[in-house]
Structure 1
């Protein structure tokens, strides 16, 4: 397990694309800390503000190797 701090708000994506729109639900809040766990398939998971689980990095041994993760979180 790692602890990660969100460095920018993360909103849900629109179903038809990869665009994050501020009017969509807020999943992770800037400044909040989230526990991040790795599964057997090298996916890194955490739980959003409403208690739903999300993959925040995938296919990497170390979570900081994932580009999306490093744009939205930092490890503590």
Structure 2
């Protein structure tokens, strides 16, 4: 026979499941779009890169230059 602790556990689990479902829905609504043109050199960003790296704002070359610059500043 179920007691009050079992009922409480079931209720908590139901709320957790609802919260996780709501979070999944919210995350799916946050679609990140890539830029069509690089913000560094204004060249067109290839579609393959935009699909592989959603939210990219730079072409591969400009991204590599930025990463090298950041690496030098970290040292």
Same fold (TM over 0.5): no
Greater RCO structure (CA 8 Å; 6+ sep): 1
TM-score of the aligned structures, taking structure 1 as reference length: 0.17
Q: Larger C-alpha radius of gyration, 1 or 2? A: 2
Quick check: which one's helix share is greater? 2
